Amino acid sequence: MADEAREFTLYVQSKRAVTTLYQPTSSPVWGAPSPGAPSPSSSVAQYDVRADEGVHFLSDDQARCVAITEDLARRRGYSLKVVDIEKAGRVERLIAEHLRGVQTFPVLITPKGQRLEGVASFTEEALSALMPTELKSVRAFSFVKVRGGDLDRIRHQLESLDQVKELHLLTGDWDMLVVLDFPATSSSKRQVLDFVTERIRGVPEVVDTSTVVPEYSITKFPAA
């Protein structure tokens, strides 16, 4: 059974096509076009067919929101149910009380009742914040103290190291906070500390370091 805390519902609002180019067959299959009709370009059908409903389609803006949400949910291990309110049953509309007050679609509803509403809200950053994921690498944080020297040269020297992902200048006991990233292995902690002692402490002006290697990490930032 799927983890209910990871089950999201995305409500969209399709439009009914007014066309004489395509007519549904007398016994259509839900979600499948008749022979000769164009095929949907993604896993979420652009239109669904019922004899009493005709042809429905999503605007490109809403279709893009569905695609980006599906992609992120799949990569981060979340379950996503897409519901078209134009074809939802009467009972389902009454049950969906959290749609009250909604002005624009699509609307993403989380199990905790958080809501992402409107095309402009569907960004990688906003979706990632609603779908935290475990880091697939080891993120470590090293406080660095330097003495004398050209601070810009020291900064550029640290930035040139592939494992250094962020560098923050500080005031107080420490001069810099360096964020490091390493592949997750059974010896990751040693790998991090070896790097700090050999490469960062190898910079002549670096006089001290203090490094934190978390045991477990999640992120709300966009991540692969």
Residue type, 59: S
Domain boundary among 79, 106, 130: 130
Q: Enter the tokens of residue 73.
A: 């949910």
Alpha-carbon gap, residue 198 to 146, rounded angstroms: 15
pLDDT above 60 for 24: no
pLDDT in tens, 131-188: 999 999 999 999 999 998 788 889 999 999 999 999 999 999 999 999 999 999 889 9
Residues 87 and 43 in one domain: yes
pTM of the model: 0.74
Mean pLDDT, all residues of the chain? 84
pLDDT in tens, 207-217: 999 999 999 99
- 23 vs 3, which has greater pLDDT? 3
Domain of residue 24 covers 4-130
pLDDT in tens, 78-131: 999 999 988 876 656 656 677 888 889 999 999 998 999 999 999 999 999 999
Indicate whether 139 belongs to any domain: yes
Residues 60 and 146 in one domain: no
Indicate whether 23 belongs to any domain: yes
pLDDT in tens, 52-78: 456 889 999 999 999 999 999 999 999
Domain boundary among 89, 114, 130: 130
Indicate whether 224 belongs to any domain: no
Residues 173 and 96 in one domain: no
Residues 109 and 148 in one domain: no
Indicate whether 51 belongs to any domain: yes
Contact in structure between 38 and 32 (CB atoms under 8 Å): no
Residues 123 and 143 in one domain: no
Residues 32 and 97 in one domain: yes
User: Can you give the chain as a three-state secondary structure string?
Assistant: CCCHHHEEEEEECCEECCCCCCCCCCCCCCCCCCCCCCCCCCCCCCCCEECCCEEEECCHHHHHHHHHHHHHHHHHCCEEEEEECCCCCHHHHHHCHHHCCCCCCCEEECCCCCEEECHHHCCHHHHHHHCCEECCEEEEEEEEEECCCCHHHHHHHHHCCCCEEEEEECCCCCCEEEEEEEECCCCHHHHHHHHHHHHHCCCCCEEEEEEECCCCCEECCCCC
Residues 121 and 10 in one domain: yes
